[in-house]
Structure 1
Amino acid sequence: MAHLNFTEQRQAAAAGLKLLLRISLREFNEGGLKFRAMSLVYTSLLALAPLLAVSFSILKAFGVHNQIQALLTELLAPLRGNAQEVTDKIITFVDNIQVGVLGFVGFLTLFYTAVSLLEQVEECFNHIWRVAKPRSLYRRFSDYLSVIMIGPVLLFSGLGIAASMTSTALVQRLIALEPFGTVYYLAGLILPYVLMIAAFTFVYAFIPNTPVKLRPALIGGVCAGLVWKATGFIFAVFIVDSAQYSAIYSGFAVILVAMIWLYLSWLILLLGGVMTFYIQFPHYLSYASRSPRLSIRSQEQLGLLLMHLIGRQYLQGGAACTLQSLSETINMPWEPVAALLACLQQHGLVVVIDGDTKTYRPAHDTDTILLRDIIRAIRSDGDQPALQATDSLQALFSELDGSIGAVLQERNLRELVSAKIAALPTTPT
């Protein structure tokens, strides 16, 4: 029995790994992650120096600016011997930027260049999370300002406090004793992984313009952080230590290798965001394509179901239905739900009472909303070109359209919600 359970667990793990690989490849190709990672490399090269300059100026006021070089060295560690060289060049370039003499307009330009990187990252994560609307201008200003100005201060202050505590006489005596010495050594080995996982988790929970649960963000952060560390080791062994790049590209080899590592880092970050999304919304895994395409029959059924849920909440006096609550209730991705709601809104069947949270209620009293109008609204949505057909076909088209009224007659939404409607007759297939 134990052997059977182990075999089943191994098969389930293999199936899960295969599914994850398939989803990652689909997002890499169909989702365009490879091109978005490339665009982030380009944006990073433009915004890295301004971002570090703004952060460096703020950190200097708090006296913790010396920690930034150690962090850059850690992030560029997979470059091996070139890591210190690249770090020194970046720090030298940042030191040469005299923020104090830029003036107000120059500082705003510098700040906007730094913020543009965060905007690009948010756009990539919104694409992963199927969010069409970015942050408002006010939220972008407040959220990005807190990340750029407060985040580095808290991070480097914590690192500085931790470093200063280890230099005290009491801590040194504790380290000399066992098992405190072993614990301190292990903590030093684990701390870089913990910081990297915490950074990835923060990005997954904060950057998308949609609520992200902590558990999926943490799982995505753990996986992405460990993959980033493992990829860095492999990258250092097979790429950086290879003499072919130096022989071919000579002095440009350092720049090329740094850009490749930057691309891989962004790609790992985005793929971790994909994993976080699918952990929070596992029903997306059952669809063959990234954006599910419903049949006409499924759209009609979904339209009736949405009107039923919205009408029921309205009649019971409960909280109005939101796009997210409707999607979770029917276990359906919100793209087709949002498309159906937009169709129903366009035909005057539902109204939006809160544009920010996408809250819906019936546009009229449920007695006046006929079920046949719901079906006709869905069938008539989109372009309706004049088709050139024979008289017999036109008569057939009219007969099909009339069958809706013949079946549904005067049945309305209140009857459907109140469960007083009789079962609809089935038609042979």
Structure 2
Amino acid sequence: MDWRQATHHSVKFFKYFGQRCSADKINITAGHLTYVSLLSLVPLIVVMFTIFSAFPVFEQLQRNIEEALIANLLPTSGEQLSSYIDEFVANASKMTGIGIAFLFVVAVMLISAIDSTLNSIWRDTSKRRLTVSLAIYWMILTLGPVLIGSGLAATSYLISLTQFAEEYISGVRSFALWLVPVITSFIAFVLLYQLVPNRTVRFRHAAFGAGIAAILFELGKQVFSLYITYFPTYQAIYGALATIPILLVWIYLSWTIVLSGAELTVSLEEYQYLRKKKRAE
């Protein structure tokens, strides 16, 4: 295939991708997930951190996850967000068993919304059994943070190693600080696109969507941070309450990127299938 054919197929593919995004109305879906996230985010964080606080051995993992939340959940106002998280967890320790159970149900709402949204993108209408769904959600709430914390610990170790390389090769640490989060996001998106849909998704298709989504996510964080820093519109209008609209906008952009990566994954799968079918005819 020469470059003209490659360009032709690339244009047709991204046209197909655009049509699919328009048909699925991912901008509206991202808004819905943003609303659900705002309702479920605090209970989800409280449930995860309450589980960690019950086991002192996970104290370091809890700190790693808190640092990740501050870096990814809101690229600005990190210190304020950290104080909020500490206050939420402290208040949760005073709740009764019924209160904790209610938080768990609300936290599951977010995971369930993500599950149904991705399956609708993959056009999968089959339903899992309730017991299977609850088992998956519980595994995400318990094992998910452990895996995230372990990955972040390994990331911190790798970045610390670049301090020695920086003495010999200039720019290594800066490159690592950019590359490692991209790799971490890539792995998270691959797992999301492969494990959540209730059907088999090939790794190469998931890796394609996850790779673009990871790069867009990291670029989005940097651009958003620069915008908030040099064009402090929200701070000027909302003052002390600026964290709320900033969080809203960032969560919406994040979900748009996540859904775009899912659409890229399924579009590549369908586009290749349609090309093979056309050649066979």
Same fold (TM over 0.5): yes
2:122 paired with 1:129: yes
Contact residue 13 and residue 271 of structure 2 kept, 8 A: no
Aligned counterpart in structure 1 of residue 89 of structure 2, from 87, 94, 102: 94
Contact residue 74 and residue 250 of structure 2 kept, 8 A: no
**Which amino acid is 1:68 matched to?**
I
2:15 paired with 1:22: yes
Corresponding pairs, count: 274
Cα deviation for residue 201 of structure 1 reads: 0.9
Contact residue 67 and residue 160 of structure 1 kept, 8 A: yes
Quote the Cα distance in structure 2 between the aligned partners of 1:205 and 1:118. 15
**In 2 relative to 1, CA 65–238 (structure 1 residues): closer, same or farther, beyond 3 Å?**
closer
Cα distance per residue 1:217-239 (max 9 Å; x no partner)? 11111110001112222223335
- Structure scoring higher RCO (CA < 8 A, sep ≥ 6) equals 2
2:28 paired with 1:35: yes
Alignment of 1:410-421 (within 5 A): none
**Which amino acid is 2:66 matched to?**
Q
Quote the Cα distance in structure 2 between the aligned partners of 1:153 and 1:118. 17
Contact residue 20 and residue 267 of structure 2 kept, 8 A: no
Secondary structure, aligned partner of 1:71: helix
Alignment of 1:279-290 (within 5 A): 279-282=268-271
Q: 1:228 aligns to what?
A: 217
Q: 2:183 aligns to what?
A: 194
**Which amino acid is 2:200 matched to?**
P
Quote the Cα distance in structure 2 between the aligned partners of 1:110 and 1:180. 49
Cα distance per residue 1:58-112 (max 9 Å; x no partner)? 2231222122221012204533xx23323432342233222x6421x33322211
Alignment of 1:369-388 (within 5 A): none
Cα deviation for residue 252 of structure 1 reads: 3.3
Q: 2:148 aligns to what?
A: 155
**Which amino acid is 1:145 matched to?**
W
**Which amino acid is 1:86 matched to?**
L
**In 2 relative to 1, CA 59–184 (structure 1 residues): closer, same or farther, beyond 3 Å?**
farther
2:102 paired with 1:109: yes
Q: 1:272 aligns to what?
A: 261
Alignment of 1:268-417 (within 5 A): 268-282=257-271, 331=277
**In 2 relative to 1, CA 175–20 (structure 1 residues): closer, same or farther, beyond 3 Å?**
same
**Which amino acid is 2:69 matched to?**
L
Contact residue 66 and residue 82 of structure 2 kept, 8 A: yes
**In 2 relative to 1, CA 88–132 (structure 1 residues): closer, same or farther, beyond 3 Å?**
same
**In 2 relative to 1, CA 35–203 (structure 1 residues): closer, same or farther, beyond 3 Å?**
same
Secondary structure, aligned partner of 1:130: coil
Cα deviation for residue 186 of structure 1 reads: 4.4
Percent sequence identity is 28
Structure (1 or 2) with the greater helix fraction: 2
Cα deviation for residue 165 of structure 1 reads: 8.6
Contact residue 240 and residue 257 of structure 1 kept, 8 A: no
Cα deviation for residue 143 of structure 1 reads: 1.3
Aligned counterpart in structure 2 of residue 51 of structure 1, from 44, 54, 58: 44
2:197 paired with 1:208: yes
Unpaired segments ≥5 residues, structure 2: none
Contact residue 166 and residue 173 of structure 2 kept, 8 A: no
**Which amino acid is 2:38 matched to?**
L
**In 2 relative to 1, CA 230–184 (structure 1 residues): closer, same or farther, beyond 3 Å?**
closer
Contact residue 123 and residue 134 of structure 1 kept, 8 A: no
Q: 1:244 aligns to what?
A: 233
Q: 2:63 aligns to what?
A: 66
Contact residue 58 and residue 153 of structure 1 kept, 8 A: no
Quote the Cα distance in structure 1 between the aligned partners of 2:64 and 2:165. 26
Quote the Cα distance in structure 2 between the aligned partners of 1:216 and 1:280. 6
Cα deviation for residue 37 of structure 1 reads: 0.8
Unpaired segments ≥5 residues, structure 1: 287-329, 333-429
Aligned residues: CA RMSD: 3.1
Secondary structure, aligned partner of 1:65: helix
Contact residue 49 and residue 94 of structure 1 kept, 8 A: no
Q: 1:303 aligns to what?
A: none
Contact residue 50 and residue 111 of structure 1 kept, 8 A: yes
**Which amino acid is 2:96 matched to?**
L
Cα deviation for residue 177 of structure 1 reads: 9.1
**In 2 relative to 1, CA 208–110 (structure 1 residues): closer, same or farther, beyond 3 Å?**
same
